[in-house]
């Protein structure tokens, strides 16, 4: 019967329509007269979901049979965005299903627009995890992601009077076709309680963690299809629920209501994504999230491992766990606890298994982003883990002392415990000590961590433990999906689609640079993407922008180190200059549209003030008829993955102007260049490697030089009240003048303006610009996340692809 009825449904146009109608009728319980765009989206999504589930089953079955070493990517954030278009393209169903949708009376664009983003991440780190899942699936790796299923994703941003307002992102309001609920997979997670000692049958003294409160972790699986393969991997997201059974004594004591109230608190754990990017907040609930997540994930992995009845010492030969930043560091402690307390291994054997299992990626050197947790808080929530951390530290420091006798300073510097009042646990130190590999995310950053925050550890463990894995992005979403016209042009020019799986093949575009017609078509694609963005800007902000202008874009989280402030100061300077030009001089000006987008953490006062300044400048400049189309300033609200897919392909120049040494990598820089946009940037993060790949002529990098007088007149202008009430901006101005100007805006302003002049000059020669643009795209092969994932797989995880057999 399984053979007779279990075959998958056909994926042609007819098969699609049949399934669509079945889902409208049964899943949505609607009639043919009652199908709006949203219902059409749901029915299409469910049809695709069915296909995904088939692949998911086949893949997981193949992996179970083969039992290869698997890799588990632990990330508190997966910033997936929308799934429908991506799944249609990766499964190569877009054409058939598109026709099917059209015949049913809908436009595919409208249908795709209905989907809400899965925004379970803040920015770079979360989106990187999503790109890596796409590459793991595409390259046939036996991989799973583990994360949390937040009820509320990153907040929605709206503007009121130029100020950021935050609104809850209740993304599960309607059903989510991209997840499979697994009510059968529910794991109890304990908090609090106490530790008791006992003597086991061999006379060894052991510890037992008892009491406390327990909640349940319920699994939700998100299938991730690869491109051009049957492989479909899984992201398992945990949701917190009350235990099914609760404290009966409470009932007996007549405290039913209170007992129910207690249970309801369980749901808080996975309620909300913390909206801080590159900033540590020491909230107890955040620590609970971290433990809840790693404990559930490890228990799941261990259950899978135990089915094969292997010895524990083979665990690292079957399991590689990658820690996406320090957020999952407690997994190191939890595995040690399970091995020692529950499985009865001795400490050293257990620790050897632990360190061979984990590897750790660092994403930042900013001091305020380094995770550290107060010892009393850890002790209270996780008493046994706190003991283990102290023991790990003790044994570690004993070995350090052997290597450097009588050097008390080195012990204090390297200790996992910061000796303050109260004491703190330094999660980065714990992650380094508990992993066999540590990596940074771009060449400069990886060198920086070796010479600064991890300097002592490099000396102690040896340099081989520390590696670079330059970030990458998936060309499927960030070119093929976001820029279909450019993708088509590239495929036509190269004569194949293989470049989507082997991005180095884009090199062959270089030979088309000399073809005038190709250049013309290349520019035409960029222009149509700019028209698309101009329409979006008009519809959301009411601002008219001319698509013939130079589109200058800075979209990313708002943070002082990223220096959106410097950008807007530069815009004010440009505005002043424009106003002083004679009519003849104006003839020579390149019209510009300066586009900003990005969220500020809700508690980040200065970042929010930058948004307000941008909006005030926008209001003044856009209303000034005397400068016509020569300058427009736009802040696009609620920047997210779906918006990035519209903005990035429309950019002529984008800004990546962090203070040197602060942006670990940046990944949007790669997305812009891949889409034929040039970049204006500082010598920082992955900008350096992008420069190496694409060459001097195709990037505008600038270096630090001493303070510039132009900055003073801009500041004076704000202080005079030219951009609204000057008083509200004084804290922002103070960061430059009274403070330390920590992010060096004053030092870099002059050279920044010089670089902007070069951009204007270069843009005047449109034909030459088109050559630069083509070369940019052609030389971006290195920045595919496929390359990055292969490096991780071969050099850190030692996992091999497991191709899923074609049916």
In the structure encoding, which two tokens stand for residue 767, read together? 């034909």
How remote is the C-alpha of 363 from its chain's centroid?
11
Between 410 and 660, CB nearer to ligand 26M: 660
CB 449 within 8 A of CB 440: yes
Between 284 and 313, CB nearer to ligand 26M: 284
Task: Work out how close the CB of 287 gets to ligand 26M at its nearest, in angstroms, rounded to a whole number.
Answer: 9
Q: Nearest Cα to 449, choosing from 333, 559, 326?
A: 326
Task: Work out how close the CB of 284 gets to ligand 26M at its nearest, in angstroms, rounded to a whole number.
Answer: 12
Size of the site for ligand 26M (CB under 6 A): 24
Among 149, 363, 426, 608, binds ligand 26M (CB under 6 A): 363
Residue 323 β-bridge partners: 74, 360
Phi/psi of residue 358, nearest 5 degrees: -95, 150
> Is position 122 an interface residue for ligand 26M (rule: CB under 6 A)?
yes
> Is position 286 an interface residue for ligand 26M (rule: CB under 6 A)?
yes
Report the distance separating Cα 421 and Cα 375, nearest Å. 10
Q: ∠ CA(770), CA(776), CA(782), 5° rounding?
A: 165
CB 439 within 8 A of CB 359: yes
**Residue located via tokens 């009728």:** 25
Between 131 and 339, CB nearer to ligand 26M: 131
Between 264 and 281, CB nearer to ligand 26M: 281
Task: Work out how close the CB of 621 gets to ligand 26M at its nearest, in angstroms, rounded to a whole number.
Answer: 30
Distances (CA, A) of 661 to 364, 450, 700: 10, 13, 18
Which spans in 307-382 are helix H?
Answer: 315-318, 330-337, 347-357, 375-381
Q: Nearest Cα to 679, choosing from 775, 548, 546?
A: 775
Q: Which residue minimizes CB distance to ligand 26M?
A: 124
Among 123, 145, 147, 570, binds ligand 26M (CB under 6 A): 123
Task: Work out how close the CB of 274 gets to ligand 26M at its nearest, in angstroms, rounded to a whole number.
Answer: 4
How remote is the C-alpha of 25 from its chain's centroid?
37
Report the distance separating Cα 463 and Cα 770, nearest Å. 43
Q: Confirm whether 363 is a catalytic residue.
A: yes
**Residue located via tokens 């100020």:** 163
> Is position 682 an interface residue for ligand 26M (rule: CB under 6 A)?
no
> Is position 223 an interface residue for ligand 26M (rule: CB under 6 A)?
no
Catalytic residue among 562, 592, 608, 612, which? 562
> Is position 377 an interface residue for ligand 26M (rule: CB under 6 A)?
no
Burial, 507: exposed, middle or buried (Cβ in 10 Å; 0-12, 13-18, 19+)? middle
Catalytic residue among 236, 445, 557, 632, which? 557
> Is position 750 an interface residue for ligand 26M (rule: CB under 6 A)?
no
Between 396 and 596, CB nearer to ligand 26M: 596
- In the region spanning residues 31 to 70, those forming contacts with ligand 26M, defined by CB under 6 A, are none
CB 459 within 8 A of CB 407: no
Sheet with 592-597, strands from edge to edge, namely: 631-636, 592-597, 550-555, 653-656, 678-682, 700-702
Site string for ligand 26M, 642-671 (x = CB under 6 A): ---------------------xxxxx----
Between 62 and 699, CB nearer to ligand 26M: 699
Task: Work out how close the CB of 96 gets to ligand 26M at its nearest, in angstroms, rounded to a whole number.
Answer: 36
Distances (CA, A) of 40 to 8, 17, 37, 114, 289: 22, 11, 5, 9, 36
Between 16 and 146, CB nearer to ligand 26M: 146
Q: Strand, helix or coil at 354? A: helix
Q: How many residues can be counted in the chain?
A: 807
Report the distance separating Cα 777 and Cα 480, nearest Å. 13
- In the region spanning residues 224 to 283, those forming contacts with ligand 26M, defined by CB under 6 A, are 274, 276-278, 280-281
Report the distance separating Cα 416 and Cα 398, nearest Å. 13
Q: Nearest Cα to 618, choosing from 567, 655, 683?
A: 567
CB 510 within 8 A of CB 773: no
Among 15, 81, 124, 145, binds ligand 26M (CB under 6 A): 124
Burial, 235: exposed, middle or buried (Cβ in 10 Å; 0-12, 13-18, 19+)? buried
Catalytic residue among 94, 599, 671, 772, which? 671
Q: Confirm whether 556 is a catalytic residue.
A: yes
CB 44 within 8 A of CB 97: yes
Q: Nearest Cα to 7, choosing from 56, 47, 59, 54?
A: 54
Among 17, 471, 616, 735, binds ligand 26M (CB under 6 A): 471
Task: Work out how close the CB of 428 gets to ligand 26M at its nearest, in angstroms, rounded to a whole number.
Answer: 12
Catalytic residue among 357, 667, 735, 777, which? 667
In the structure encoding, which two tokens stand for residue 793, read together? 């797989």
Q: Confirm whether 691 is a catalytic residue.
A: no
In the structure encoding, which two tokens stand for residue 338, read together? 């399970």
Q: Strand, helix or coil at 774? A: helix
- In the region spanning residues 591 to 650, those forming contacts with ligand 26M, defined by CB under 6 A, are none
Between 106 and 360, CB nearer to ligand 26M: 360
> Is position 441 an interface residue for ligand 26M (rule: CB under 6 A)?
yes
In the structure encoding, which two tokens stand for residue 397, read together? 């420091």
Q: Nearest Cα to 653, choosing from 782, 752, 514?
A: 752
In the structure encoding, which two tokens stand for residue 43, read together? 């029915």
- Three-class HEC string of 660-706: CCCCCCCCHHHHHHHCCCEEEEECCCCHHHHHHHHCHHHCEEECCCC
- Number of Cβ within 10 Å of residue 141's Cβ equals 24
CB 477 within 8 A of CB 86: yes
In the structure encoding, which two tokens stand for residue 459, read together? 């000396």
Among 369, 643, 647, 776, binds ligand 26M (CB under 6 A): 369
Between 73 and 575, CB nearer to ligand 26M: 73
Residue 355 β-bridge partners: none
Cis amide leading into 422 (omega within 30)? yes
Site string for ligand 26M, 79-118 (x = CB under 6 A): ----------------------------------------
Among 316, 637, 685, 750, binds ligand 26M (CB under 6 A): 685
Task: Work out how close the CB of 297 gets to ligand 26M at its nearest, in angstroms, rounded to a whole number.
Answer: 18
Annotated active-site positions, please?
A: 363, 556-557, 562, 667, 671
Question: Which residues lie near ligand 26M (CB under 6 A)?
Answer: 122-125, 128, 274, 276-278, 280-281, 286, 363-364, 369, 371, 441, 471, 663-667, 685
């Amino acid at each position: 019967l399984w053979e007779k009825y279990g075959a998958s449904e056909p994926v042609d146009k007819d098969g699609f329509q049949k399934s669509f109608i079945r889902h409208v009728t049964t899943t949505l319980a609607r009639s043919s007269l009652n199908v709006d765009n949203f219902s059409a989206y749901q029915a299409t999504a469910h049809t695709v979901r069915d296909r995904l589930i088939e692949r998911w089953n086949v893949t997981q079955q193949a992996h179970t049979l083969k039992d290869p070493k698997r890799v588990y990517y632990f990330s508190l954030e997966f910033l997936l965005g929308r799934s429908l278009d991506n799944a249609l393209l990766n499964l190569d169903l877009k054409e058939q299903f598109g026709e099917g949708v059209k015949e049913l009376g809908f436009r595919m664009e409208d249908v795709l627009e209905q989907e809400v983003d899965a925004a379970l991440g803040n920015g770079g780190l979360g989106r990187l995890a999503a790109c890596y899942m796409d590459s793991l699936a595409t390259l046939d790796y036996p991989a799973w992601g583990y994360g949390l299923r937040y009820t509320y994703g990153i907040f929605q941003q709206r503007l009121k009077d130029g100020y950021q307002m935050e609104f809850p992102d209740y993304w599960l309001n309607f059903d989510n076709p991209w997840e499979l609920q697994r009510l059968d997979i529910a794991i109890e997670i304990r908090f609090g309680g106490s530790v008791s000692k006992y003597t086991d049958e061999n006379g060894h003294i052991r510890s037992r963690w008892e009491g406390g409160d327990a909640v349940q972790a319920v699994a939700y699986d998100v299938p991730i299809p690869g491109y051009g393969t049957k492989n479909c991997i899984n992201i398992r997201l945990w949701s917190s629920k009350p235990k099914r059974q609760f404290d009966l004594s409470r009932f007996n004591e007549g405290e039913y209501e209170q007992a129910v109230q207690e249970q309801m608190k369980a749901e808080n754990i996975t309620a909300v994504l913390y909206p801080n990017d590159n900033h540590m907040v020491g909230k107890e609930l955040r620590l609970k999230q971290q433990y809840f997540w790693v404990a559930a994930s490890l228990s799941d992995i261990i259950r899978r491992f135990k089915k094969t009845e292997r010895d524990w010492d083979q665990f690292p030969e079957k399991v590689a766990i990658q820690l996406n930043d320090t957020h999952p560091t407690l997994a190191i402690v939890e595995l040690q606890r399970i091995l020692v307390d529950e499985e009865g291994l001795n400490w050293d054997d257990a620790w050897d298994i632990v360190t061979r299992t984990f590897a750790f990626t660092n994403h930042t050197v900013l001091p305020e982003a380094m995770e550290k947790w107060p010892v009393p808080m850890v002790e209270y929530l996780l008493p046994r883990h706190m003991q283990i951390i102290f023991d790990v530290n003790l044994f570690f420091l004993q070995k350090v002392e052997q290597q450097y006798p009588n050097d008390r300073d080195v012990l204090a510097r390297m200790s996992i415990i910061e000796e303050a009042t109260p004491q703190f646990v330094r999660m980065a130190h714990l992650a380094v000590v508990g992993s066999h590999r540590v990596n940074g995310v771009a060449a400069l950053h990886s060198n920086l961590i070796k010479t600064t925050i991890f300097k002592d550890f490099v000396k102690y463990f040896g340099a081989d433990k520390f590696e670079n894995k330059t970030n990458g992005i998936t060309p499927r979403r960030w070119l093929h999906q976001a820029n279909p016209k450019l993708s088509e042009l590239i495929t036509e020019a190269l004569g194949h689609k293989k470049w989507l799986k082997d991005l180095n093949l884009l090199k062959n575009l270089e030979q088309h640079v000399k073809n005038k017609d190709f250049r013309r078509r290349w520019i035409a694609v960029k222009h149509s993407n700019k028209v698309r963005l101009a329409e979006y800007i008009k519809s959301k902000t009411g601002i008219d922008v001319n698509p013939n202008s130079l589109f200058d874009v800075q979209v990313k989280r708002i943070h002082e180190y990223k220096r959106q402030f410097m950008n807007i100061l530069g815009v004010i300077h440009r505005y002043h200059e424009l106003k002083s030009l004679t009519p003849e001089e104006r003839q020579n000006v390149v019209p510009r549209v300066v586009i900003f987008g990005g969220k500020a953490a809700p508690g980040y006062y200065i970042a929010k003030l930058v948004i307000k300044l941008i909006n005030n400048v926008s209001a003044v400049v856009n209303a000034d008829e005397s400068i016509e189309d020569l300058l427009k300033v736009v802040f696009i609200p609620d920047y997210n993955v779906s918006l990035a897919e519209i903005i990035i392909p429309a950019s002529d120049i984008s800004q990546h102007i962090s203070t040197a040494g602060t942006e670990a990598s940046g990944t949007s820089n790669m997305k812009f260049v891949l889409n034929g946009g040039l970049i204006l940037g500082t010598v920082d993060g992955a900008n350096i490697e992008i420069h190496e790949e694409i060459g001097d002529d195709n990037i505008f990098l600038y270096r630090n030089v001493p303070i510039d007088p132009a900055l003073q007149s801009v500041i004076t202008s704000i202080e005079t009240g030219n951009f609204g009430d000057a008083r509200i901006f004084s804290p922002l101005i103070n960061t430059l003048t009274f403070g330390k100007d920590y992010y060096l805006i004053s030092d870099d302003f002059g050279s920044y303006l010089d670089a902007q002049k070069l951009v204007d000059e270069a843009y005047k020669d449109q034909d030459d610009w088109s050559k630069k643009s083509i070369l940019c795209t052609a030389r971006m092969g290195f920045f595919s996340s496929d390359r990055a994932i292969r490096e991780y797989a071969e050099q850190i995880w030692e996992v091999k692809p497991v191709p899923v057999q074609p049916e």
